[in-house]
Amino acid sequence: MATNDSILSSAYLAVEYIDSLLPDNPLQGLFKYAWTYMLDNYSKFQIATWGSLIVHELIYFLFCLPGFLFQFIPFMQRYKIQQDRPETWEGQWRCFKMLLFNHFCIQLPLICGTYYFTEYFNIPYDWDNMPRWYVLCAQCFGCAVIEDTWHYFLHRLLHHKRIYKYIHKVHHEFVSPFGMQAEYAHPLETLILGAGFFIGIMVFCNHVILLWAWVIVRLLETIDVHSGYDIPLNPLHLIPFYAGARFHDFHHMNFVGNYASTFTWWDKVFNTDSQYQGYREKGKTQEGKKRK
């Protein structure tokens, strides 16, 4: 244990040293000004409640926007995974209405508890206690690992034949997913799978900024895997074991396997990605024959 502690301590000091060598970032100064302005003009309740709601809604629909626009750009259709199943206005409108219900009738009441959570655990809001960027990145990664584990086992349970048609079937109305559909789900599913989001917060949160950072990271990931497009040079694929759009798109198309939300390791451990791997191998074989 002492050896591990010394390694972590050395790594932390190394990152601190590298960070100290970097030139002052004007964006950090702007962010500090905006953060202190927010603290001076709004109460903690307003920041935790309405601030969190605004962050969620703005980030969600901002991240959905590129995928929505892709359907009107012929060049981007080469990257659509299920090209025989284009988006429809009727489906997107139905999805949008369900999203509004879930966001404001299910998620907003949960968001209203954010202030009381931060007060109970004495989680700071001030600038001086703001964690460094690399600490925040490590915390978000830890939250992602925890959420991915929760999501794998509970998602797999929701696919049980005795439960599936009552809850999770709603999310699978769209065989070919699109970004906005990421949070299209039965209200009970929103609560069940959404609980995994909060576990990491309970473990790692030492500043209110983590709440917003983790919201942004989680929305980026879930909208990406539901996008329906496999875009080349996607920086998220630099993350080890990242599942990506093709991995989750197969889950919507096949209904069985690929249950994890972010990473591939749980599906590999329990061999629930076997059909996907077979599908990929078949695709590679057919592609090889075409080239010949």
> How confident is the model over 117-137, as pLDDT tens digits?
999 999 999 999 999 989 999
Q: How many helices (H) and strands (E) does the chain have?
A: 13, 0
Which pLDDT score is estimated for 4? 45
Pairwise CA distance, residues 146 & 245, whole Å: 20
pLDDT recorded at residue 29: 82
Inter-residue long-range contacts of 28-33, CB under 8 Å, 24+ positions, other chains counted? 32/127
pTM: 0.88
* Residue 129: HSE in the Cβ half-sphere, 13 Å Cα cutoff: 11
Q: What percent of the chain lies above the pLDDT cut of 70?
A: 88
Residue-level pLDDT at 11: 47
261, pLDDT greater than 60: yes
Q: How confident is the model at residue 151 (pLDDT cuts 50, 70, 90)?
A: very high
